[in-house]
């Protein structure tokens, strides 16, 4: 009988920091600064939506390039967000300038999730 792999909190709860937050190109202080910029941009772009969590994780893509995994958790019906399939693209566009102002050039991968949804499992 095969032994089950351990399940870490970051595997099932995406707002919990995982091992990718130890990416050497992103120091904790810098990650907090990026987090502040992203959160401020998201909240100002959608002022009528309640966001209990906006998190940023430093990671690498499949080619080894630095990326920022941004998870936006919203509460309620998300009426302001709606069913806009281009939402992520629009947010990436809105984040480019504020992140460039603090000299952050990592590619942004946004993910919107309702607070009522079950935890993400991969």
> Distance between CA 4 and CA 45 in Å, rounded?
43
> Distance between CA 19 and CA 57 in Å, rounded?
9
Residue 76 belongs to some domain of the structure: yes
Q: What are the tens digits of pLDDT across the range 95-112?
A: 999 999 999 989 999 988
Residue 17 belongs to some domain of the structure: yes
Lookup: tokens for 121: 């499992």
Query: Which residue numbers in the chain have pLDDT < 70?
Result: 1-25, 78, 80, 82-85, 119-122
> Distance between CA 35 and CA 65 in Å, rounded?
19
| Domain of 91, in residue numbers | 9-114
Residue 1 belongs to some domain of the structure: no
Tokens 């990718």: give the residue. Answer: 20
Count of domains for the chain: 1
What is the four-CA torsion angle of 79, 83, 88, 94, rounded to 10 degrees? Answer: -50
Q: Which CATH number characterizes residue 98's domain?
A: 3.30.70.1350
């Amino acid at each position: 009988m095969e032994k089950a792999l351990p399940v870490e909190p970051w595997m099932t709860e995406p707002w919990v920091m995982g091992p990718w937050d130890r990416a050497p190109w992103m120091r904790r202080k810098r990650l907090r600064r990026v987090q502040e910029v992203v959160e401020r941009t998201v909240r100002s772009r959608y002022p009528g939506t309640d966001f209990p969590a906006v998190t940023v994780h430093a990671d690498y893509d499949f080619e080894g390039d630095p990326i920022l995994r941004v998870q936006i958790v919203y509460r309620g019906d998300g009426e302001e967000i709606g069913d806009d399939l281009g939402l992520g693209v629009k947010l990436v566009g809105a984040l480019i300038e504020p992140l460039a102002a603090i000299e952050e050039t990592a590619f942004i991968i946004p993910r919107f999730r309702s607070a009522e949804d079950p935890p993400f499992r991969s």
